[in-house]
Amino acid sequence: MSSPYLASIAIKSAELQGRKKGIRFLRKLQEVLFLEKQNVSNFEVLKNCARSVGLDVEEFVTDIHSETAAKAFQCDLKITNEMDVQEIPTFVFFNANVEEEGIKITGLYPYEVYVQILEEMLQEKPEAANPPILEQFLKQYKMVASKEVAVVYDMTVQQAEKELKKLMLKQKVEQIPAKYGVFWRYVEG
110 and 154: one domain?
no
Q: Which domain holds residue 102?
A: 83-128
User: How many separate domains does the chain show?
Assistant: 3
* CATH assignment at residue 140: 1.10.10.10
Residue ranges for the chain with pLDDT beneath 50: 1
97, 130, 93: which is closest to 114 by C-alpha?
93
Find the largest Cα–Cα distance for the chain.
53
Q: Is residue 77 part of a domain?
A: no
Give the pLDDT of residue 98. Answer: 65
Dihedral over Cα of 68, 34, 151, 189: its sign: positive
pTM equals 0.81
11 and 65: one domain?
yes
Q: Is residue 78 part of a domain?
A: no
pLDDT in tens, 48-62: 999 999 999 999 999
d(CA 14, CA 160): 31
